[in-house]
Amino acid sequence: MDHQELALVLGNAIEQQDFDSALEQVKGMRPVDIADILAEISPALAWRLLDKIPDRAGIFSYLDIDVQMELAREYPRGNLARLIGEMPSDERADLYKQLDQEQKDALLPALAQAERENIRKLASYSEGTAGALMTSDYATLDGNMNVHEALAALRREAPDAETIYHAYVIDAQRKLVGVVSLRALILAAPGTLMHSLMISNPIHSQVNDDQEDVAKTIARYDLIALPIVDENGAIVGIVTHDDAMDVMSEEATDDFHKSGGVSTMIGNMKDVSIRVLYKKRVFWLVLLVFGNLFSGAGIAHFEDVIAANIVLVFFLPLLVDSGGNAGSQSATLMVRALATGEVVMRDWFSLLGREALVALCLGGTMAVAISLVGYWRGDTTVAIILAMSMMCVVLIGCVIGMSLPFILNKMGFDPASASAPLITSVCDASGVVIYLFIASQFLSLT
Amino acid sequence: MDHQELALVLGNAIEQQDFDSALEQVKGMRPVDIADILAEISPALAWRLLDKIPDRAGIFSYLDIDVQMELAREYPRGNLARLIGEMPSDERADLYKQLDQEQKDALLPALAQAERENIRKLASYSEGTAGALMTSDYATLDGNMNVHEALAALRREAPDAETIYHAYVIDAQRKLVGVVSLRALILAAPGTLMHSLMISNPIHSQVNDDQEDVAKTIARYDLIALPIVDENGAIVGIVTHDDAMDVMSEEATDDFHKSGGVSTMIGNMKDVSIRVLYKKRVFWLVLLVFGNLFSGAGIAHFEDVIAANIVLVFFLPLLVDSGGNAGSQSATLMVRALATGEVVMRDWFSLLGREALVALCLGGTMAVAISLVGYWRGDTTVAIILAMSMMCVVLIGCVIGMSLPFILNKMGFDPASASAPLITSVCDASGVVIYLFIASQFLSLT
Using alpha carbons only, give the angle B80, B82, B87 rounded to the nearest 5 degrees. 90
Task: Give the gap in angstroms from C-alpha A101 to the nearest C-alpha of chain B.
Answer: 32
For residue A61, the chain B residues in CB contact (below 8 A) are: none
Q: Which of A213-217, A333-337, B405-409 has the highest mean pLDDT?
A: A213-217
Task: Give the gap in angstroms from C-alpha A117 to the nearest C-alpha of chain B.
Answer: 28
Work out the pLDDT band at B386, boundaries 50, 70, 90: very high
Give the amino acid at A319: L
Instruction: Determine, for residues A186 and B182 on separate chains, whether the beta-carbon distance falls below 8 Å.
Output: yes
Choose one of B209, B225, B241: the last residue of a domain.
B241
Give the SS3 label for residue B411.
coil
User: What is the overall mean pLDDT for chain B?
Assistant: 88
By Cβ distance, the residue of A262, A307, A343 closest to B332 is A262
DSSP state of B229: E
What residues contact B176, with CB distance under 8 A and at least 6 apart?
Answer: B168, B169, B170, B202, B204, B227, B229, B233, B234, B235
Task: Give the gap in angstroms from C-alpha A119 to the nearest C-alpha of chain B.
Answer: 23
Question: Do A165 and A232 have their domain in common?
Answer: yes
By Cβ distance, the residue of A249, A286, A334 closest to B340 is A249
- CATH number for the domain spanning A42: value is 1.25.60.10
Rounded to whole angstroms, the Cα distance separating B304 from B140 reads 79
pLDDT for the residue A395: 95
For residue A295, the chain B residues in CB contact (below 8 A) are: 317-318, 321
Q: What is the DSSP string of B86-140?
A: HS-HHHHHHHHHHS-HHHHHHHGGGS-HHHHHHHHHHHTSPTTBHHHH-BS---E
**Number of domains present in the structure of chain A:** 3
Question: Do A99 and A180 have their domain in common?
Answer: no
By Cβ distance, the residue of A155, A316, A328 closest to B421 is A328
pLDDT for the residue B345: 81
Interface test with B, best of A269, A272, A354, A375 (most B CBs within 10 A): A269
Do A205 and A228 form a contact (C-beta atoms < 8 A)?
yes
Residue A286, in any domain of the structure: no
Residue B337, in any domain of the structure: yes
pLDDT for the residue B304: 85
Give the amino acid at A381: T
Residue A283, in any domain of the structure: no
Q: CA nearest B39: which of B31, B54, B364?
A: B31
Choose one of A93, A127, A161: the last residue of a domain.
A127
Instruction: Determine, for residues A313 and B299 on separate chains, whether the beta-carbon distance falls below 8 Å.
Output: yes
Interface test with B, best of A241, A343, A345, A398 (most B CBs within 10 A): A241
CA distances from B314 to A292, A301, B270, B325, B427 (A): 10, 10, 41, 18, 18
Mean pLDDT to the nearest integer, B247-270 = 79
For residue B165, the chain A residues in CB contact (below 8 A) are: 165, 182-183, 224
Work out the pLDDT band at B151, boundaries 50, 70, 90: very high
Instruction: Determine, for residues B151 and A186 on separate chains, whether the beta-carbon distance falls below 8 Å.
Output: yes
Residue A358, in any domain of the structure: yes
For residue B344, the chain A residues in CB contact (below 8 A) are: none
By Cβ distance, the residue of B303, B325, B354 closest to A285 is B325
**ipTM reported for the complex, 2 dp:** 0.86
Work out the pLDDT band at A6, boundaries 50, 70, 90: low
Mean pLDDT to the nearest integer, A241-268 = 83
Work out the pLDDT band at A379, boundaries 50, 70, 90: confident
Question: Do A54 and A177 have their domain in common?
Answer: no
- CATH number for the domain spanning B302: value is 1.10.357.20
pLDDT value at B165 more than 60: yes
Rounded to whole angstroms, the Cα distance separating A158 from A181 reads 14
What domain range is B213 assigned to?
Answer: 140-241
Question: Do A300 and A437 have their domain in common?
Answer: yes
Instruction: Determine, for residues B261 and A331 on separate chains, whether the beta-carbon distance falls below 8 Å.
Output: no
Which of the residue ranges B240-244, B344-348, B436-440 would you say has the lowest mean pLDDT? B344-348
Q: Where are the beta strands (DSSP E) in A15-58?
A: none
Instruction: Determine, for residues A317 and B320 on separate chains, whether the beta-carbon distance falls below 8 Å.
Output: yes
Work out the pLDDT band at A287, boundaries 50, 70, 90: confident
Instruction: Determine, for residues A245 and B282 on separate chains, whether the beta-carbon distance falls below 8 Å.
Output: no
pLDDT value at B255 more than 90: no
**Contacts across the A-B interface (CB distance below 8 Å):** 336
Question: Do A148 and A184 have their domain in common?
Answer: yes
pLDDT in tens, A339-371: 888 888 888 888 888 889 999 999 999 999 888
Mean pLDDT to the nearest integer, B245-265 = 83
Q: What is the DSSP string of B41-52?
A: S-HHHHHHHHTT
- CATH number for the domain spanning B162: value is 3.10.580.10
Question: Do B174 and B116 have their domain in common?
Answer: no
Instruction: Determine, for residues B285 and A328 on separate chains, whether the beta-carbon distance falls below 8 Å.
Output: no
Residue A16, in any domain of the structure: yes
pLDDT for the residue A418: 72
Task: Give the gap in angstroms from C-alpha A352 to the nearest C-alpha of chain B.
Answer: 11
Interface test with B, best of A358, A362, A375, A395 (most B CBs within 10 A): A358
Choose one of B126, B154, B169: the last residue of a domain.
B126
pLDDT value at B1 more than 80: no
Instruction: Determine, for residues A155 and B186 on separate chains, whether the beta-carbon distance falls below 8 Å.
Output: yes
How many percent of chain A have pLDDT more than 90?
Answer: 41
pLDDT value at A42 more than 90: no
pLDDT value at A1 more than 60: no
pLDDT value at B148 more than 90: yes
Q: Chain-centre distance of CA B127, in angstroms? A: 13
By Cβ distance, the residue of A300, A317, A366 closest to B285 is A366
pLDDT in tens, B195-214: 999 999 999 999 999 999 99
Question: Do B441 and B321 have their domain in common?
Answer: yes
Nearest residue on chain B to A279, alpha-carbon basis: B362
Question: Do A326 and A426 have their domain in common?
Answer: yes
Question: Do B203 and B121 have their domain in common?
Answer: no
Mean pLDDT to the nearest integer, B318-324 = 85
User: What is the overall mean pLDDT for chain A?
Assistant: 88
Task: Give the gap in angstroms from C-alpha B102 to the nearest C-alpha of chain A.
Answer: 33
pLDDT for the residue B445: 56
How many percent of chain B have pLDDT more than 90?
Answer: 41
* Greater model confidence, B289 or A437: A437
Interface test with B, best of A306, A318, A406 (most B CBs within 10 A): A318
Task: Give the gap in angstroms from C-alpha A93 to the nearest C-alpha of chain B.
Answer: 20
For residue B306, the chain A residues in CB contact (below 8 A) are: 310, 313
pLDDT in tens, A312-347: 888 888 888 888 888 888 888 888 888 888 888 888
Q: Which helix (H) or strand (E) holds B290?
A: helix B274-291
| Contacts by B93-102, CB closer than 8 A, 24 or more apart | B93/B118, B93/B119, B93/B122, B93/B123, B93/B132, B94/B65, B94/B132, B95/B65, B95/B68, B95/B69, B96/B123, B97/B123, B98/B65, B98/B68, B98/B69, B99/B69, B99/B72
Instruction: Determine, for residues A245 and B248 on separate chains, whether the beta-carbon distance falls below 8 Å.
Output: yes
Mean pLDDT to the nearest integer, B305-326 = 85
pLDDT in tens, B43-80: 888 888 888 888 899 999 999 888 899 898 888 888 88
What residues contact B230, with CB distance under 8 A and at least 6 apart?
Answer: B206, B207, B236
Rounded to whole angstroms, the Cα distance separating A140 from B108 reads 46
User: What end-to-end distance do the CA atoms of chain B give, in Å?
Assistant: 80
pLDDT value at A3 more than 70: no
Question: Do B437 and B339 have their domain in common?
Answer: yes
Work out the pLDDT band at B265, boundaries 50, 70, 90: low
Residue B135, in any domain of the structure: no
pLDDT in tens, A111-149: 889 889 999 999 999 999 999 999 999 999 999 999 999
Nearest residue on chain B to A297, alpha-carbon basis: B314
Question: Do B17 and B113 have their domain in common?
Answer: yes
Give the amino acid at B32: V
Residue B34, in any domain of the structure: yes
Question: Do A82 and A24 have their domain in common?
Answer: yes
Q: CA nearest B400: which of B338, B352, B350?
A: B352
Residue B264, in any domain of the structure: no
pLDDT for the residue B376: 83
Packed helices B113-123 and B89-98: angle between N→C axes, nearest 10 degrees = 70
What residues contact B273, with CB distance under 8 A and at least 6 apart?
Answer: none
Interface test with B, best of A5, A292, A390, A427 (most B CBs within 10 A): A292
